[in-house]
Structure 1
Amino acid sequence: MAHWSSPALSRSWLGTIVVLYALILAYAIVIVGQLVLGVLPGLVLIVIYLFWRLVVAIEAIADAQQRMAGYDDEGNGE
C-alpha cells in the first residue's frame, strides 16, 4: 500500500456535509412536516462514515502486517 488514508474529514468536506444535512432537515420539517425524512439521511451518513473508518482501520492493520512481514523476510526478526 503506497499511501495511508487520512482518518479525518477535511474541514471543507465536513462543512459541506453539515450545510447539506441542515438543508435536508429543514426541508423535511418545514415543507414535508415529517421528522423521519430528515433523520434518515443523517443515519445513512453516520453508517457510511463508520464504514469508512472501518476500512481505514483495516488499511492500517494490513500496512502494519506488510511492514512486519518485510522486516521478518530480511532476517531481522530474530
Structure 2
Amino acid sequence: MNAEFRELWGRHDVSTNTVGIKEFLLPDAGSLKFVHSTFTISEYGDFRMTVYTPVEGTGTEKRMKKFLNGYS
C-alpha cells in the first residue's frame, strides 16, 4: 500500500448521492411527486443537500404554482 493511497483512504473523502421519488400529500395542494437527489458535501462531512424537482406528467408543477400563489 503506497503513502498516497493510505492518506486518501484515511480521509474517507467520499461523496455519495441518492436519487428517488418522494410523494407529499398536502391538504391544500393534493399529491405532489418529486424526484429527489441527495448529495453529501464531503468537505463538511455530515452535511447533505437534497434537491427536489417536480416529476413531469404528474401535475405537480402546476399544483405547486397554484399552491404557492395562494401565499403571495
**TM-score, normalised via structure 2 length:** 0.26
Q: Which has the higher Rg, Structure 1 or Structure 2?
A: 1
Q: TM-score, normalised by structure 1?
A: 0.24
Higher strand share: 2
| Larger RCO, structures 1/2 (Cα 8 Å, 6+ apart) | 1
